[in-house]
Amino acid sequence: MEIINRVTRMASVARELRAQGQTIGFVPTMGALHEGHLSLMAKARAMCDKVVASVFVNPTQFGANEDLSRYPHDLARDAELAFTKEVDYIFAPSPEDMYPNGFTSYITVEGLSERLEGASRPGHFRGVATVVAKLFNIVHPHFAFFGRKDAQQVIILKRMVKDLAMDVEIVVGLTVREEDGLALSSRNVYLPADERKAALVLRRALDKCRQLYNGGDRDCARLVLAMRAIIEAEPLARLDYVAITDIANLEQITTIPHLRPTLVSLAVYIGKTRLIDNIVLNGEL
């Protein structure tokens, strides 16, 4: 495994791999790797000749009051974990190399980026789309792997790839969870024991929704109310949003349709830590 820090070096390695006819699998991460990331690396390993994982805490996707400065960093640990999944290259560029002086080009997936997470985190998906497009241009992957926990991110990046005819296929990995159901997130390390316990409300709310849905309820207002009630009953939790949306346009719907895939997603503050989770009804991302 090689750790690459320079954009130019990564681009030339990727060009060389392409020239040799090797398929490149790419797992973009912000480091602080957990089993969710590792499952994507394993998937990439199984599908591709060479696997590249990036570790880059992308400043442009954090808002001014968000946790950029305290986001966990430990490249040595991340590299060790990636090594266990037989990743071939870790790409860990500096912010200065990714955003040189005078940087001013951004990709926006309009509409989709302003809803759900985007409404709470203005500019977040502009930062995500831009850095992912740039990483794609550097790494030249055939396949790029993202987790379903960030469902809106997947939907936006698939749209971007299609709209701009990017020559890469997005592959989605299932959300990996702790035994008690908490979705893995690099932000879980922020949670002290009481908050860690309280964080289970996200999964409990989604379970409730699926249970009502399985029982035949298709009324979104009622499903949302039931989920809100669960979040509000937890004193350490503060609901940011819970929404039931069409998967194609992320617009809220009133009734869950028969066949169209439907995203049930929520964001909840547990203390000062903001967590997200989701389920998909009637299909997949």
Question: In the bound complex, what is the minimum distance in angstroms from residue 220's beta carbon to its own copies?
Answer: 22
Q: Determine if 250 is a binding residue for its own copies (CB under 8 A).
A: no
* Residue number, 13 or 270, with CB nearest to its own copies: 13
* Residue number, 91 or 213, with CB nearest to its own copies: 91
**Dist CA 190 CA 185 (whole Å):** 10
Question: In the bound complex, what is the minimum distance in angstroms from residue 131's beta carbon to its own copies?
Answer: 10
Among 116, 133, 206, 270, binds its own copies (CB under 8 A): 133
Q: Are 168 and 144 in contact (CB under 8 A)?
A: yes
* Residue number, 169 or 194, with CB nearest to its own copies: 169
Residue 164 tokens, joined: 């701009």
CA distances from 275 to 13, 63, 153, 270 (A): 36, 15, 15, 7
* Residue number, 100 or 235, with CB nearest to its own copies: 100
- Using the rule CB under 8 A, give the single segment among 29-37, 64-72, 128-136, 184-192 that binds its own copies: 128-136
**Dist CA 50 CA 211 (whole Å):** 41
Q: Which of residues 200-239 bind its own copies (CB under 8 A)?
A: none
Environment class of residue 226 by beta-carbon count within 10 Å: exposed (0-12), middle (13-18) or buried (19+)? middle
Residue 126 tokens, joined: 């502009």
**Dist CA 165 CA 78 (whole Å):** 32
CA distances from 183 to 13, 63, 247 (A): 34, 23, 20
Q: Determine if 17 is a binding residue for its own copies (CB under 8 A).
A: no
Q: Which of residues 157-186 bind its own copies (CB under 8 A)?
A: 159-160, 162-167
- Using the rule CB under 8 A, give the single segment among 11-19, 30-38, 224-232, 259-267 that binds its own copies: 11-19
Q: Determine if 130 is a binding residue for its own copies (CB under 8 A).
A: yes
Find the distance separating the first CA and the last CA of the chain, reported in whole Å.
32
The binding track of 90-119 with respect to its own copies, each residue x by CB under 8 A or -, is ----------x-xxxxxxxxxxx-------
Count the neighbouring beta carbons within 10 Å of the beta carbon of residue 177. Answer: 15
Q: Is 73 designated active site?
A: no
Closest CA to 265 of 168, 185, 153, 160: 153
Q: Determine if 138 is a binding residue for its own copies (CB under 8 A).
A: yes
Q: Which amino acid is at 136?
A: F
Question: In the bound complex, what is the minimum distance in angstroms from residue 184's beta carbon to its own copies?
Answer: 29
* Residue number, 93 or 173, with CB nearest to its own copies: 93
Residue 260 tokens, joined: 């169209």
| Residues within the interface to its own copies (CB under 8 A) | 7, 11, 15, 19, 21, 100, 102-112, 129-130, 133-134, 137-138, 140, 159-160, 162-167, 248-249
Catalytic positions, please? Answer: 37
